[in-house]
């Protein structure tokens, strides 16, 4: 096969692949999930999608970078959103920015930026956890609104992890572990109820430590799985 024929074959293959992607994009809702964490949160949501057979391009999960902060997460999400739009008119239906309050100085700025994007008609949603994602994991076992604070050499997130390690089967919990969703899958309904209760109390008292909105994203993924999972 000559070089010209090889070039034409590769070009045709690329064109076929782009057409396949466009057909997949047009089938229904598409979500982009951009996480502050590099492993913990991406592993959790990736495993959710594997269990429920929600594949790319239906759901794309983008991990953060080392040292990522809430404002960087939002900026990265904006870039991915615009890049995706170049492939066709079927843009992501929702873009979820999963961030932690922790001790980040750009937390409020990130939330405000998402509000500004909403005002521009862009489908961005902030999914914050105060103080960190592990509070969502803890809610699978117990309900608590006791405030978390750094203590000695232990960070504020470290204090949440300390409580999580007291729960059955989680004594050896560390960040960046795989298999967390599968271990907690049967308790997801409990975690959602606890998170809803915590959110109501946080709104009532004006104190968001601790609280989380991860349940909003999980419920959206559950809805998507009910209509598109296992049938793609």
Per residue in 167-197, pLDDT (tens digit) is 999 999 999 999 999 999 999 999 999 999 9
**Per-residue pLDDT, 26:** 46
Q: Which residue has better confidence, 36 or 6?
A: 36
Q: Which tokens is 213 given? A: 């909105």
- Give the burial string for 164-192 (b: 16+ CB within 10 Å, else e): beebeebeebeeeeeebbeebeeebeebb
Per residue in 191-210, pLDDT (tens digit) is 999 999 999 999 999 999 99
**Per-residue pLDDT, 90:** 83
**Per-residue pLDDT, 65:** 79
* Band of residue 141 on the pLDDT scale cut at 50, 70, 90: very high
Q: Is 1 exposed, middle or buried (0-12, 13-18, 19+ CB in 10 A)?
A: exposed
% of the chain exceeding 70 in pLDDT = 86
- Residues in contact with 24: Cβ distance below 8 Å, sequence separation at least 6, in sequence order: 57, 58, 232
- Residue 17 above 80 pLDDT? no
């Amino acid at each position: 096969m000559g070089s010209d024929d090889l070039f034409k074959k590769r070009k045709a293959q690329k064109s076929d692949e782009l057409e396949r992607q466009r057909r997949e994009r047009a089938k229904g809702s598409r979500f982009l999930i951009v996480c502050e964490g590099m492993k913990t949160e991406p592993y959790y949501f990736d495993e959710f999608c594997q269990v429920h057979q929600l594949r790319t391009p239906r759901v794309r999960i983008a991990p953060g970078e080392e040292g990522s902060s809430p404002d960087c997460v939002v900026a990265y999400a904006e870039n991915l959103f615009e890049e995706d739009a170049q492939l066709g008119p079927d843009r992501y239906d929702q873009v979820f920015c999963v961030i932690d309050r922790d001790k980040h100085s750009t937390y409020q700025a990130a939330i405000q930026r998402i509000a500004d994007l909403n005002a521009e008609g862009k489908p961005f949603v902030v999914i914050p956890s105060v103080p960190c994602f592990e509070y969502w994991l803890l809610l699978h076992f117990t309900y608590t609104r006791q405030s978390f604070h750094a203590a000695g050499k232990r960070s504020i997130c470290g204090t949440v992890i300390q409580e999580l390690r007291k729960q059955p089967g989680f004594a050896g919990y560390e960040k960046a572990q795989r298999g967390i969703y599968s271990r907690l899958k049967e308790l997801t309904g409990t975690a959602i109820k606890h998170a809803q209760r915590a959110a109501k109390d946080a709104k009532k008292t004006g104190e968001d430590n601790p609280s989380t909105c991860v349940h909003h994203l999980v419920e959206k993924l559950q809805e998507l799985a009910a209509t598109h999972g296992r049938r793609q």
